[in-house]
């Protein structure tokens, strides 16, 4: 009978790492307008993404990994509309 230490690539952290990588690939960056707009995302999610590299989801539903200066782009009209309806 083998133990997890006998075959470290079968289970444990290696499996979790592979599963996490697969999830991130499945939730990969969507092509489209997110490249042209700044989106509204919870601040804690942006910090988490900066630390982990995990993609974020904007109010409009777009998923991507932040990396560009949002000040250089116009605000996503869908995010803006949703945000205003939440605070209005």
Give the pLDDT means over successive 10-residue stretches in the chain (88 positions): 50 62 54 73 91 93 88 93 90
- Candidates 81, 79, 73; CA nearest to 41 is 79
Given this model, what pLDDT does residue 69 score?
Answer: 86
| pLDDT given at position 36 | 85
Q: What pLDDT does residue 29 have?
A: 47
Specify the pLDDT at position 1. 52
pLDDT confidence of residue 88: 74
pLDDT at position 66 is: 87
Cα distance between residue 69 and residue 26, in whole Å: 25
> Distance (Å, rounded) from C-alpha 81 to C-alpha 87?
10
What local confidence, expressed as pLDDT, does residue 68 receive?
A: 83
Confidence at residue 87, expressed as pLDDT on a 0 to 100 scale: 86
């Amino acid at each position: 009978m083998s133990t997890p230490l006998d075959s470290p690539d079968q289970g444990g952290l290696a499996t979790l790492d592979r599963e996490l990588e697969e999830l991130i690939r499945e939730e990969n960056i969507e092509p489209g307008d997110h490249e042209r707009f700044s989106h509204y995302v919870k601040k804690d999610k942006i910090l988490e993404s900066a630390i982990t590299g995990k993609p974020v989801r904007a109010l409009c539903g777009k998923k991507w990994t932040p990396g560009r200066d949002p000040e250089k782009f116009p605000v996503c009209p869908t995010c803006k509309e949703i945000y205003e309806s939440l605070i209005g």
